[in-house]
Amino acid sequence: MAKLWTVIKREFLERVRTKWFIIVTIFGPVFFGVIMVLPGYLSVKGMKDVKVADIRIIDATGTGLGDRVAARLSVNGSGASGGGATGEATGTQVLVVEPAKLAAAESLATKDVMAKTRRGYLVLDSLTISAQKARYAGRNASSLNEVQIIENALRSAILGQRLEREGLDPKRVEALTRVRVDMASERITDEGRGGSGIGSAIFGFLIAFLLYMMIVLYGQNILRGVLEEKTTRVAEVIVSSVSTDILLAGKVIGVGAVGLAQQLVWLGSATGLYYFRAQIFAKLGMPTVPDMPLPKVPPELIVALVLFFILGYGLYAALFAAVGAMVSSQEDANQAAQPVVMLLVFSIIFAQPVMLNPTSRLAEIVSWIPFSAPVIMPMRMAVIQVPWYELVGSLTGVAVTCALCVWLAARIYRVGLLMYGKRPSMRELLRWIRQS
């Protein structure tokens, strides 16, 4: 036990004393806060600043729909100019044509866009009236914000036209129906109200992201540590006084303690940043984000998070340690670690679909798979109330798989740590496992 504690202490102190650990630990919450808040702020600001101008509306409907669309686009600051030939573009241009001349007008508009006289053109024909279908082509066709503005203007124009046919005043109806609703969502569990629904979703995604990052970063940290000790022949000296099992256990536990300590520091810093967010945004000249109360985190969720982190980290750390013991160079390590990394990538790929629909069959399946459960199940628990039998089954599966991976990794580690040369084949690995 004394030797195990010595290895754990060495692995822990060796990493927490580095300047990069201190920098990442202190500024980690700030970095994650920036990458979460700044894109959303810039997206909202971009939606407000975008102006749809210099496009041509080819109207072959014969109903004046093009003028209605241009009028609604002008509200966004694009300007409008009815009819006329091409030339120096100053705003949205409406070109009324007969259906038989639509193809020629569209071909001419394409040439104007290629010549950069117009940014794009919108085609309105009989299908626009009967089936609400239209076509847009232009240099800004990949700009989601601008295309969305054009779609909204077209939808509003068609609605106004229909209301006029029914004898209603479209301006009056539009004024009455243009209402923005701010709806708050709140979770209800078996214990009662459970806090903000949106806050729980964000909290769940953050949990999945942090668990994924910790497993990836510190799992590969173990791989690099094992490989470095092996290539510098330090492992030969250490193994002469400490058994390989104790060395592997101490390395996994010590590095895991570093990750757990870093997450605790991040949690405290993130809580402080949340409560002082108004003052921070004011100093930066940014508007305060909408008030979003922190979700209620029950004690059982905290316990489950710790268990999933320990088991998930132990599972992948053992695999990374085994990979480090199998190879003798960084190039071989990168190739040999790809299957392990792919297992982790598999779990994060399903994070967004599961968050959008945490009660689906897909969410249940991936939260039962031991290699993805440490990331997916805590996220589901933060969003919905998972039945106890699913939680117990998932934890049991991860624990059994973790024990199996640790057992296999220990046997590979025991032999591979002192083996040099080419990377072993699958048959050689099986022989290592049988003989050790």
Q: Note the pLDDT tens digit of each residue in 18-77.
A: 777 777 777 766 666 666 566 555 555 555 555 566 788 999 888 888 888 888 887 654
pLDDT reported for residue 80: 42
208, 375 in Cβ contact below 8 A? yes
- Residues 262 and 26: their CA atoms lie apart, in Å, by 9
- Asked whether the beta carbons of 232 and 327 are under 8 A apart, the reply is no
Residue 179 banded pLDDT, cuts 50, 70, 90: low
Tell me if 158 sits within 8 A of 134, measured CB to CB.
no
CA atoms within 13 A on the CB side of 181: 4
What pLDDT band is residue 290 in, cutting at 50, 70 and 90? low
Residue 423, CB-side half-sphere exposure with 13 Å CA sphere: 15
CB atoms within 10 A of CB 325: 28
Three-state secondary structure call for residue 232: coil
Give the pLDDT confidence score for residue 39 in this predicted structure.
56
Q: Beta partners for 59?
A: 96, 124
Mean pLDDT of 226-237: 68
Residue scoring higher pLDDT (419 or 431):
431
Would you say residue 231 has pLDDT above 50?
Answer: yes
Q: Is the pLDDT confidence value at 370 over 50?
A: yes
Beta bridge partners of 186: 196
pLDDT(204) > 70: no
The pLDDT confidence band at residue 227, using thresholds 50, 70 and 90, is: confident
Residue 351 has pLDDT above 60, yes or no: yes
Highest mean pLDDT among 55-69, 235-249, 409-423: 55-69
pLDDT in the model for residue 89: 43
Q: What's the token pair of residue 291?
A: 């008030």
56: β partners: 93, 121
Most confident among 115-119, 163-167, 223-227, 299-303 (mean pLDDT): 115-119
Predicted confidence (pLDDT) at residue 306 exceeds the cutoff of 60 = yes
**pLDDT interval class at 322 (50, 70, 90):** confident
> Residue 11 pLDDT more than 60?
yes
pLDDT given at position 85:
37
- Which among 105, 124, 110 is positioned nearest to 66, based on CA atoms? 124
In terms of pLDDT, which residue wins out, 394 or 419?
394
- 77 versus 154: the higher-pLDDT residue is 154
Q: Which amino acid is at 65?
A: L
Domains of the chain: 53-171 (3.40.50), 195-435 (no CATH)
Q: Sign of the CA dihedral 171, 173, 176, 177?
A: negative
Identify the pLDDT of residue 287: 57
Greater confidence (334 vs 39) lies with: 334
Q: What is the pLDDT of residue 335?
A: 79
- Lowest model confidence (mean pLDDT) among 36-50, 194-208, 331-345: 36-50
The residues pairing with 124 across neighbouring beta strands, listed in sequence order, are 59
Average pLDDT, integer, range 249-264: 79
Q: Assess whether pLDDT exceeds 70 at residue 324.
A: yes
Mean pLDDT, range 12-20, rounded to an integer: 76
pLDDT of 2 > 60? The answer is: yes
% the chain with pLDDT above 90: 2
Which pTM was predicted? 0.62
Q: Which contiguous run of DSSP H or E holds residue 175?
A: helix 170-177
The pLDDT of 247-261, averaged and rounded, is 79
Q: Calculate mean pLDDT across residues 284-306.
A: 65
Q: What percent of the chain has pLDDT over 70?
A: 71
Q: What is the pLDDT of residue 263?
A: 75
Predicted local distance difference test score (pLDDT) of residue 222: 80
| Structure confidence by residue, pLDDT tens digits, 74-119 | 765 444 444 433 334 457 888 899 888 888 998 998 988 888 888 8
Given a cut of 70, whether residue 167 has pLDDT beyond it is yes
Where does the pLDDT of residue 340 fall: very low under 50, low under 70, confident under 90, or very high at 90 and above? confident
Return the pLDDT at 81: 43
